[in-house]
């Protein structure tokens, strides 16, 4: 045992796993770092349909930063355009200034100045994209509400100053209107049911597909080698090319049945919300599982024993860079970089588009299909190339064995012919000797006579 521990290869798994743990800590901790999970460049929309000038005042006083979050405002002309962008997952929320907003404010102003009757506050609309996840949706909602409240407070202060200057008092019924001259209504544009699982279902399904690919690729290979060992003991082992082809077939079966179980559990047992047909979601799930199985198999073939050390970083870096658990804008720059490289982000985007955005290509499904297709085709090409290389090697090996057998047969035939020739020659020599002895005996008998 002492000699075993003196070998450097014995200690390789120890220091390698410790290094992998250190890398995982360096990846995970920055994601959760800081006291708050702030967003940067949060995409929000403002729609100014107002025919008067009051809407322009809101545009001039938009909040650029709030509680560490920064925002990227996009101004569109109509509410329909904003709804379309939200349904395409291009923004987290929208503030809608209606066409009669200035008229509504004028009516509130006249009512407060005259002190007659009880009126309604001016209304602004807030539209939310509830499919982006709970944290992003909450920040968008709070931000848009803050804009409305800031607008309302500013107008309230202006009205109060004017009333003081004129010495006008308002009735108790109008006091609340003076404090809150502008209010808002909120609407979720996707119209999804409450069973969203906090918007985490696409992320969970993508994680399962990724882990299935990692574990499945390694276990299928391991158990095929074990089964081939049993066949070898029986005298009929399979060549490596057939082992690889068998792994390909088992990967397809695992992806198929894994996707079936995923649909039954997520939508059947838990009843999660889905805006698209369950058959489309099943096909995409199957495609994701199969892509990850082929990807990890290709990595194993290319890197051999080192492949498992690359598979784990691909898996956990992909999970934390996917934008599923946390919006991409909250992540460190290195995670954002990997989000464009690794496939997990595209699985989350595609699954989210199918579950929440009715499978709209503009909502991220188109980009997801393209990216995953590239991974699928490249990985499958690598696997097929290795199968072809093994088949060629096996044919060459069989041909070499056949040449060797032919050589042995020729050697045996030549040896046999040489032996036959030698036997014939010996027979002839024996016959000649016998004839010679007979002739000598005849001469000897004649001499005696």
φ, ψ at 31 (rounded to 5°): -65, -35
pLDDT at 387: 92
Q: How far is CA 316 from the centre of its chain?
A: 11
pLDDT at 443: 47
Which string of b and e fits 26-54 if b means at least 16 CB within 10 Å? ebeeebeeeeebbbeebbbbbbbbbebeb
Residue 242 burial (C-beta neighbours within 10 Å; 0-12, 13-18, 19+): middle
pLDDT at 132: 84
**Which one has a higher pLDDT value, 68 or 121?**
121
- List domains and CATH numbers for the chain: 42-188 (3.40.1710.10), 197-398 (no CATH)
Report pLDDT digits (tens) over 393-438. Answer: 888 877 777 777 666 665 665 555 555 555 555 555 555 555 545 5
pLDDT at 304: 84
Order of strands across the sheet that contains 182-188 = 65-66, 69-76, 42-48, 93-97, 122-128, 182-188
**Which one has a higher pLDDT value, 91 or 334?**
91
| R_g of the chain, CA atoms, integer Å | 41
pLDDT at 297: 93
Q: Is 124 helix (H, G, I), strand (E, B) or coil?
A: strand
Is residue 217 a contact partner of residue 303, using CB atoms and an 8 Å limit? no
Q: How many other C-beta atoms are found inside a 10 Å radius of the C-beta of residue 6?
A: 9
pLDDT at 449: 47
Report pLDDT digits (tens) over 5-62. Answer: 565 665 665 566 567 656 656 655 565 555 555 667 788 999 999 888 888 888 877 7
Is residue 367 a contact partner of residue 351, using CB atoms and an 8 Å limit? no
**Which one has a higher pLDDT value, 315 or 39?**
315
- Residue 365, pLDDT > 90, answer yes
Which of 187-196, 326-335, 436-445 holds the top average pLDDT? 187-196
CA distances from 401 to 138, 394, 405, 406, 407 (A): 71, 11, 6, 9, 10
pLDDT at 108: 85
Which string of b and e fits 284-309 if b means at least 16 CB within 10 Å? bbbbbbbbbbbbbbbbbbeeeeebbe
Counting residues of the chain whose pLDDT is more than 90, the rounded percentage is: 26
CA separation for the pair 87, 79 (Å, rounded): 12
Global pTM reads 0.78
Within 8 A by CB and 6+ apart from 207, the residues are 319, 324, 344
Report pLDDT digits (tens) over 225-258. Answer: 888 888 888 888 888 888 888 889 999 999 999 8
- Residue 119, pLDDT > 90, answer no
């Amino acid at each position: 045992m002492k000699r075993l521990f003196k070998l450097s290869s014995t200690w390789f798994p120890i220091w390698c796993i410790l290094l992998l743990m250190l890398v995982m800590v360096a990846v995970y901790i920055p994601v959760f770092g800081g006291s708050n999970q702030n967003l940067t460049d949060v995409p929000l929309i403002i729609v100014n349909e107002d025919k008067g000038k009051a809407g322009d005042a809101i545009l001039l006083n938009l909040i650029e930063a709030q509680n560490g979050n920064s925002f990227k405002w996009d101004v569109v002309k109509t509410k329909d355009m904003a709804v379309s962008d939200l349904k395409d997952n291009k923004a987290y929320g929208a503030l809608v200034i209606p066409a009669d907003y200035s008229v509504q404010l004028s009516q509130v102003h006249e009512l407060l100045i005259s002190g007659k009757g009880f009126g309604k506050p001016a209304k602004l609309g807030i539209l939310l994209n509830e499919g982006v996840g709970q944290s992003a949706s909450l920040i968008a909602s709070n931000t848009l509400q803050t804009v409305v409240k800031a607008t309302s407070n500013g107008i309230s202060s202006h009205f109060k100053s004017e009333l003081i200057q004129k010495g006008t008092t308002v009735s108790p019924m109008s006091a609340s209107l003076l404090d809150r001259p502008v209010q808002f209504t909120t609407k979720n544009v996707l119209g999804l049911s409450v069973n969203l699982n906090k918007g985490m279902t696409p992320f969970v399904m993508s994680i399962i597909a990724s882990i299935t690919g990692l574990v499945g690729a390694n276990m299928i290979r391991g158990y095929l080698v074990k089964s081939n060992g049993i066949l070898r003991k029986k005298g009929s082992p399979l060549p490596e090319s057939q082992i690889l082809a068998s792994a390909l077939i088992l990967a397809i079966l695992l992806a198929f049945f894994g996707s079936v179980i995923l649909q039954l559990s997520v939508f059947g047992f838990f009843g999660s919300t889905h805006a698209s047909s369950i058959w489309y979601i099943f096909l995409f799930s199957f495609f994701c599982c199969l892509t990850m199985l082929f990807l990890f198999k290709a990595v194993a073939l290319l890197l051999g024993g080192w492949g498992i050390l690359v598979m784990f970083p691909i898996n956990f870096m992909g999970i934390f860079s996917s934008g599923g658990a946390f919006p991409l804008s909250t992540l460190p720059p290195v995670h954002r970089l990997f989000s464009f490289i690794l496939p997990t982000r595209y699985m989350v985007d595609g699954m989210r588009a199918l579950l929440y955005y009715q499978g709209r290509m503009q909502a991220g499904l188109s980009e997801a299909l393209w990216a995953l297709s590239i991974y699928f085709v490249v990985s499958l090409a690598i696997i097929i190339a290795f199968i072809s290389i093994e088949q060629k090697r096996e044919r060459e090996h069989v041909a070499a064995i056949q040449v060797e057998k032919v050589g042995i047969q020729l050697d045996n035939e030549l040896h046999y012919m040489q032996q036959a020739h030698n036997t014939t020659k010996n027979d002839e020599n024996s016959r000649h000797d016998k004839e010679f002895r007979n002739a000598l005996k005849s001469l000897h008998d004649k001499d005696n006579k």
